[in-house]
Structure 1
Amino acid sequence: MNPFYELNFTLYDMEHISKYLTPEIKLSCYDDKFFKSEVVFDQHMLIWFISGETKIVQSETTCTFKTGDIFLIPRNKPSTIINYPKDGLPHKTVVMSLTSKILHEFYSKVNINVKAISIPGIRSYSDHPLLRSCLASLIPYFEIEGVFPDHIAMLKITEAISILRTIDPGIDGVLANFEDPHKVELVSFMEKNYMFNMPLEKFGYLTGRSLTSFKRDFKKAFDTTPQKWLTQKRLELAHYELAEKKRKPAEICYEIGFENLSHFSYAFKKHFGYAPTSVM
């Protein structure tokens, strides 16, 4: 099973190669122009950039990462991820999944009392030499044929966790939080996360509701269906980005929940009566 919940993706003329050492450690490479996915990771993902560039859109912020950067994407956090090759090099990363099972085992041996961070954002570590050394040491193993020993994989993952705890005083509040999402105030959550193209079941899960409860509470809160409300909110955001920030349709359509430019243009014209290019 993949260590993340993938909502959907858009792939254009691109060869994607992922080589796994274990289910938790992989080398990922996109060798062309553009790749976009919308994901909610089930596990924390530690990522080291070898080459390329990534834009990650979350409810509170948009981050751009490039060659040498290292960062952690927390679990259960809706994200739109847009990957680009850069400077003639492919988009290439080492990805380490810090699973709940591994973290449970790690923290069972650590005597701590921390306050959990319920909705953490991306944690950036720039090009930290300790993390870089740990993750770079995996590269030779990708070049060797044969089975990667489980005990070495665990040593590497444990090393990475230990380094994170050394350089990031608040990381225990993220990694040691094993709770599922609690029931949250629906209006506030939806206003922050409507731009992510998630199935309604996932919206329900992240708000602490079953699908039936989510639809019922949504109708009560917004007096319309989720899909109608989501489409209208995304189009209103698109109009603002075009009119006020002077951005191009191709720049924004993937960041606000549309699968491709043609779908966005059609929905925009149907809603407003004119094409998005007319706003610029």
Structure 2
Amino acid sequence: MDYQAKYITDDIKLSWYEDRFFKSDILFDHHMLIWFISGETKIVQADATYFFKKGDIFLIPRNQLATIINYPKDGQPHKTVVMHLTTTRLRDFYASLPVKPSASESQKIYGFSNHPLLESCLASLVPYFDMTDLPETIAALKITEAIHILRAIDQGIDHVLANFEEPGKIDLVGYMEKNFMFNLPLEKFGYLTGRSLTTFKRDFGKAFNTTPQRWLTQKRLELAHYQFIEKKKKPIDVCYEVGFENLSHFSYAFKKHFGYAPTTLLGQAAGH
């Protein structure tokens, strides 16, 4: 995979992928503001799937689970400007403002496509990537500018950006049933359900009477089987969307669990 990135600071980068696609399951530690220069991205969450293309701008709030698949498009690489809105920087920004956010349980991604102010702010960063020495203050000003613009175009965004709470202890069964297709370390699942790794494993064993890894594999394979039968999807698409990292491992696990290969189901589907 031919991946390259240039950084202005740790919080602002220009990234591009030349390969056919790049897939990753991600838990975002910071809010991420992204502007598409070229290429396409599919973002799959538990409740929604999003597609973004050239010119689109979107904000992914922190502590969200998502499968991200990046594609080149029309002979152009997948190329984006990414700005991290860190908790530290946002605390400083909101320290003097009378904002009291309500707890937001929304898992949605915010789109701001073709907004001239926001696009101008992010496009103005591109020349900086060719500079070898950019003062930190300049980068900080650009991030502050982006926050001001977000607040001007979406009055409800404070409930996202000014919410600094960490995940509390929540219903483990409900959360895992909803998010099992995301291939994250167990420590991250523990964090998102408000538990240490040890407590997560203990509570999981009590709730499901099996280990997390066995349960996750079975749930992902059952979802894959459903996708083949009901949605008529291709193995390459199903593999990544249900939480496997490569097609050969997925095919092996599928055949071991069900006794036949995914291609068998596709043949049956074609025959009906």
TM range (shorter): over 0.9
Contact 2:101-2:160 within 8 A present in 1 as well: no
Structure 2 residue ranges without an equivalent (≥5): 267-272
CA apart distance, 1:119: 4.4
Deviations 1:111-156 (A, max 9, x none): 1222131443211112211110100010111123x21111111111
- Hey, what does 1:103 align to over in structure 2? 90
- Hey, what does 2:219 align to over in structure 1? 233
Runs of 4+, deviation exceeding 4 Å: none
Contact 2:43-2:67 within 8 A present in 1 as well: yes
- Hey, what does 1:121 align to over in structure 2? 108
Aligned partner of 2:176 among 190, 195, 198: 190
Following the alignment from structure 1 to structure 2, what is the Cα–Cα distance between the partners of residues 228 and 95?
A: 36
Contact 1:118-1:177 within 8 A present in 2 as well: no
Contact 1:116-1:176 within 8 A present in 2 as well: no
Following the alignment from structure 1 to structure 2, what is the Cα–Cα distance between the partners of residues 38 and 113?
A: 32
Question: 1:70 and 2:43 equivalent?
Answer: no
CA apart distance, 1:108: 0.4
- Hey, what does 2:228 align to over in structure 1? 242
Following the alignment from structure 1 to structure 2, what is the Cα–Cα distance between the partners of residues 127 and 222?
A: 46
Which segment drifts farther, 150-159 or 113-122? 113-122
CA apart distance, 1:174: 0.7
TM-score (norm 1): 0.93
Following the alignment from structure 1 to structure 2, what is the Cα–Cα distance between the partners of residues 95 and 40?
A: 16
- Hey, what does 1:167 align to over in structure 2? 153
Question: 1:254 and 2:216 equivalent?
Answer: no
Instruction: Look up the SS of the partner of 2:237 in the other structure.
Output: helix
Deviations 1:52-80 (A, max 9, x none): 00011111111111100000111111111
Following the alignment from structure 2 to structure 1, what is the Cα–Cα distance between the partners of residues 107 and 253?
A: 33
CA apart distance, 1:33: 1.1
Question: 1:209 and 2:207 equivalent?
Answer: no
Contact 1:68-1:126 within 8 A present in 2 as well: yes
Percent pairwise identity: 68
Aligned partner of 1:265 among 251, 266, 270: 251
Instruction: Look up the SS of the partner of 1:87 in the other structure.
Output: coil
- Hey, what does 2:123 align to over in structure 1? 136
AA aligned to 2:86 is T
Following the alignment from structure 2 to structure 1, what is the Cα–Cα distance between the partners of residues 12 and 173?
A: 37
Following the alignment from structure 1 to structure 2, what is the Cα–Cα distance between the partners of residues 271 and 156?
A: 52
Following the alignment from structure 1 to structure 2, what is the Cα–Cα distance between the partners of residues 107 and 133?
A: 23
TM-score (norm 2): 0.96
Following the alignment from structure 1 to structure 2, what is the Cα–Cα distance between the partners of residues 177 and 59?
A: 22
Map 1:46-85; keep pairs closer than 5 Å.
Answer: 46-85=33-72
- Hey, what does 2:7 align to over in structure 1? 20
CA apart distance, 1:229: 0.7
Deviations 1:170-228 (A, max 9, x none): 21111111111100101110011100111111110110001111111111111111111
Structure 1 residue ranges without an equivalent (≥5): 1-13
Contact 1:120-1:174 within 8 A present in 2 as well: no
